[in-house]
Protein backbone atom coordinates (compact mmCIF):
# COMPACT_ATOMS: atom_id res chain seq x y z
CA UNK A 1 0.00 0.00 0.00
CA UNK A 2 1.35 3.37 -0.95
CA UNK A 3 2.26 5.87 1.76
CA UNK A 4 1.17 8.67 -0.58
CA UNK A 5 -2.59 9.22 -0.71
CA UNK A 6 -3.60 9.61 -4.36
CA UNK A 7 -7.28 10.41 -4.10
CA UNK A 8 -9.09 11.59 -7.19
CA UNK A 9 -10.83 14.43 -5.32
CA UNK A 10 -9.86 16.26 -2.16
CA UNK A 11 -12.16 16.09 0.84
CA UNK A 12 -13.60 19.11 2.56
CA UNK A 13 -14.95 19.25 6.10
CA UNK A 14 -18.68 18.68 6.34
CA UNK A 15 -20.47 18.24 9.66
CA UNK A 16 -24.17 17.61 9.32
CA UNK A 17 -26.57 14.72 9.70
CA UNK A 18 -26.67 12.10 7.00
CA UNK A 19 -29.31 9.39 6.63
CA UNK A 20 -28.32 6.25 4.79
CA UNK A 21 -30.60 3.29 4.15
CA UNK A 22 -30.22 -0.14 2.61
CA UNK A 23 -33.98 -0.30 1.94
CA UNK A 24 -34.69 -2.36 5.07
CA UNK A 25 -33.18 -0.21 7.80
CA UNK A 26 -32.00 3.37 8.05
CA UNK A 27 -29.08 4.79 9.97
CA UNK A 28 -28.32 8.37 10.92
CA UNK A 29 -24.80 9.67 11.48
CA UNK A 30 -22.84 12.87 11.25
CA UNK A 31 -20.63 13.37 8.24
CA UNK A 32 -16.94 14.11 8.67
CA UNK A 33 -16.15 15.25 5.13
CA UNK A 34 -17.35 15.21 1.54
CA UNK A 35 -15.96 15.28 -1.97
CA UNK A 36 -17.26 14.97 -5.51
CA UNK A 37 -17.00 11.21 -5.12
CA UNK A 38 -18.72 10.63 -1.81
CA UNK A 39 -18.74 11.37 1.87
CA UNK A 40 -17.42 9.95 5.12
CA UNK A 41 -19.91 9.31 7.93
CA UNK A 42 -18.89 9.03 11.58
CA UNK A 43 -20.34 5.79 12.90
CA UNK A 44 -19.43 2.81 15.03
CA UNK A 45 -22.24 0.77 13.42
CA UNK A 46 -21.88 0.84 9.62
CA UNK A 47 -23.47 -1.49 7.12
CA UNK A 48 -21.12 -4.14 5.68
CA UNK A 49 -18.69 -3.20 2.93
CA UNK A 50 -20.23 -3.06 -0.57
CA UNK A 51 -23.75 -2.49 0.79
CA UNK A 52 -25.73 -0.29 -1.60
CA UNK A 53 -27.52 2.50 0.24
CA UNK A 54 -29.50 5.62 -0.47
CA UNK A 55 -27.65 8.51 1.13
CA UNK A 56 -29.61 11.65 1.99
CA UNK A 57 -27.92 14.85 3.13
CA UNK A 58 -28.22 18.63 3.00
CA UNK A 59 -25.25 20.70 1.88
CA UNK A 60 -24.71 24.13 3.43
CA UNK A 61 -26.58 26.95 1.71
CA UNK A 62 -28.80 24.54 -0.26
CA UNK A 63 -32.59 24.71 -0.06
CA UNK A 64 -33.28 20.99 -0.35
CA UNK A 65 -31.69 17.69 0.55
CA UNK A 66 -29.86 15.48 -1.91
CA UNK A 67 -30.46 11.70 -2.17
CA UNK A 68 -27.82 9.65 -3.94
CA UNK A 69 -27.36 5.93 -4.56
CA UNK A 70 -24.07 5.05 -2.84
CA UNK A 71 -21.86 2.11 -2.00
CA UNK A 72 -20.27 1.57 1.40
CA UNK A 73 -16.71 1.55 0.06
CA UNK A 74 -14.62 1.27 3.22
CA UNK A 75 -14.79 1.17 7.00
CA UNK A 76 -12.42 2.87 9.43
CA UNK A 77 -12.29 1.47 12.95
CA UNK A 78 -9.07 2.27 14.81
CA UNK A 79 -8.96 1.14 18.45
CA UNK A 80 -5.41 2.42 18.91
CA UNK A 81 -5.70 6.10 18.01
CA UNK A 82 -8.56 8.22 19.33
CA UNK A 83 -7.68 11.04 16.92
CA UNK A 84 -8.77 8.85 13.99
CA UNK A 85 -12.50 9.14 13.36
CA UNK A 86 -14.28 5.81 13.03
CA UNK A 87 -16.83 5.54 10.29
CA UNK A 88 -17.61 4.57 6.74
CA UNK A 89 -16.78 5.95 3.32
CA UNK A 90 -19.82 6.18 1.07
CA UNK A 91 -19.01 6.32 -2.64
CA UNK A 92 -21.58 8.05 -4.83
CA UNK A 93 -22.71 5.72 -7.61
CA UNK A 94 -25.38 7.66 -9.45
CA UNK A 95 -25.27 11.45 -9.55
CA UNK A 96 -27.52 13.24 -12.01
CA UNK A 97 -26.28 16.39 -13.75
CA UNK A 98 -28.07 18.66 -11.29
CA UNK A 99 -26.46 16.90 -8.32
CA UNK A 100 -23.03 17.07 -9.96
CA UNK A 101 -23.51 20.80 -10.52
CA UNK A 102 -24.58 21.35 -6.91
CA UNK A 103 -21.56 19.43 -5.59
CA UNK A 104 -19.16 21.21 -7.95
CA UNK A 105 -20.55 24.62 -7.01
CA UNK A 106 -20.39 23.80 -3.29
CA UNK A 107 -16.76 22.67 -3.59
CA UNK A 108 -15.80 25.72 -5.66
CA UNK A 109 -17.51 28.09 -3.20
CA UNK A 110 -15.82 26.43 -0.23
CA UNK A 111 -12.43 26.50 -1.94
CA UNK A 112 -12.80 30.21 -2.66
CA UNK A 113 -14.02 30.80 0.90
CA UNK A 114 -11.06 28.99 2.46
CA UNK A 115 -8.54 30.80 0.27
CA UNK A 116 -10.09 34.18 1.08
CA UNK A 117 -10.30 33.35 4.79
CA UNK A 118 -6.61 32.41 4.71
CA UNK A 119 -5.81 35.92 3.48
CA UNK A 120 -8.05 37.50 6.12
CA UNK A 121 -6.39 35.45 8.89
CA UNK A 122 -2.81 36.22 7.78
CA UNK A 123 -2.28 39.48 9.74
CA UNK A 124 -1.31 39.16 13.42
CA UNK A 125 -4.58 40.88 14.31
CA UNK A 126 -7.16 39.96 11.66
CA UNK A 127 -10.38 41.93 11.20
CA UNK A 128 -12.76 39.90 13.38
CA UNK A 129 -15.92 41.17 11.69
CA UNK A 130 -14.58 39.89 8.34
CA UNK A 131 -13.68 36.56 9.96
CA UNK A 132 -17.20 36.25 11.43
CA UNK A 133 -18.76 37.02 8.05
CA UNK A 134 -16.89 34.10 6.48
CA UNK A 135 -17.56 31.75 9.37
CA UNK A 136 -21.31 32.17 8.88
CA UNK A 137 -20.88 30.49 5.48
CA UNK A 138 -18.50 27.82 6.81
CA UNK A 139 -20.18 25.97 9.69
CA UNK A 140 -17.38 23.39 9.98
CA UNK A 141 -15.10 26.16 11.30
CA UNK A 142 -17.46 27.78 13.79
CA UNK A 143 -16.52 27.67 17.46
CA UNK A 144 -12.75 27.50 16.94
CA UNK A 145 -10.36 29.91 18.61
CA UNK A 146 -8.03 31.96 16.39
CA UNK A 147 -5.08 29.56 16.69
CA UNK A 148 -7.09 26.48 15.74
CA UNK A 149 -8.96 28.40 13.04
CA UNK A 150 -5.68 29.43 11.41
CA UNK A 151 -4.41 25.85 11.57
CA UNK A 152 -7.60 24.38 10.06
CA UNK A 153 -7.84 26.96 7.28
CA UNK A 154 -4.15 26.70 6.37
CA UNK A 155 -4.34 22.90 6.51
CA UNK A 156 -7.35 22.79 4.21
CA UNK A 157 -5.72 25.27 1.82
CA UNK A 158 -2.85 22.79 1.36
CA UNK A 159 -5.38 20.63 -0.49
CA UNK A 160 -5.58 23.25 -3.21
CA UNK A 161 -1.82 23.42 -3.80
CA UNK A 162 -0.29 21.55 -6.75
CA UNK A 163 0.90 18.03 -5.99
CA UNK A 164 4.61 17.34 -5.83
CA UNK A 165 3.93 13.60 -6.17
CA UNK A 166 5.42 13.47 -9.66
CA UNK A 167 8.87 13.73 -8.05
CA UNK A 168 8.44 10.28 -6.50
CA UNK A 169 8.19 6.92 -8.13
CA UNK A 170 5.68 4.35 -6.84
CA UNK A 171 8.55 2.43 -5.27
CA UNK A 172 9.78 5.54 -3.44
CA UNK A 173 6.26 6.22 -2.20
CA UNK A 174 5.87 2.64 -0.97
CA UNK A 175 9.11 3.00 1.00
CA UNK A 176 7.97 6.28 2.51
CA UNK A 177 10.69 8.22 0.68
CATH of the domain at 33: 2.40.10.220
Instruction: Tell whether the model's pLDDT for residue 101 goes beyond 50.
Output: yes
Range of the domain at 46: 12-94
Instruction: Tell whether the model's pLDDT for residue 55 goes beyond 70.
Output: yes
Looking at residues 132-158, what average pLDDT do you find?
92
Q: What is the 3-state secondary structure (H, E, C) of the chain?
A: CCCCCCCCCCCEECCCEEEEECCCCEEEEEEEEECCCEEEEECCCCCCCCCEEEEEECCCCCCCCEEEEEEEEEEECCCCCCCCCCEEEEEEEECCHHHHHHHHHHHHHHHHHHHHHHHHHCCCCCCHHHHHHHHHHCHHHCCCCHHHHHHHHHHHHHHHCCCCHHHCCHHHHHCCC
pLDDT of residue 79: 76
Instruction: Tell whether the model's pLDDT for residue 93 goes beyond 90.
Output: yes
In a domain, residue 85? The reply is yes
Number of domains in the chain: 2
Q: pLDDT confidence of 139, banded at 50, 70, 90?
A: confident
Residues 86 and 119 in one domain: no
Taking only the tens place, the pLDDT of each residue in 16-45 is 999 999 999 999 999 999 999 999 999 999
In a domain, residue 2? The reply is no
Amino acid sequence: MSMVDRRKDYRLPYHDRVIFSDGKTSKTAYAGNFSRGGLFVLTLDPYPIDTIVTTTFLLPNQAGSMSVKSRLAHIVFDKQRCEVDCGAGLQFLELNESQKSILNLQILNEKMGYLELKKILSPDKPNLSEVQRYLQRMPALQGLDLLELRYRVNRICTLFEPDDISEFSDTDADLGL
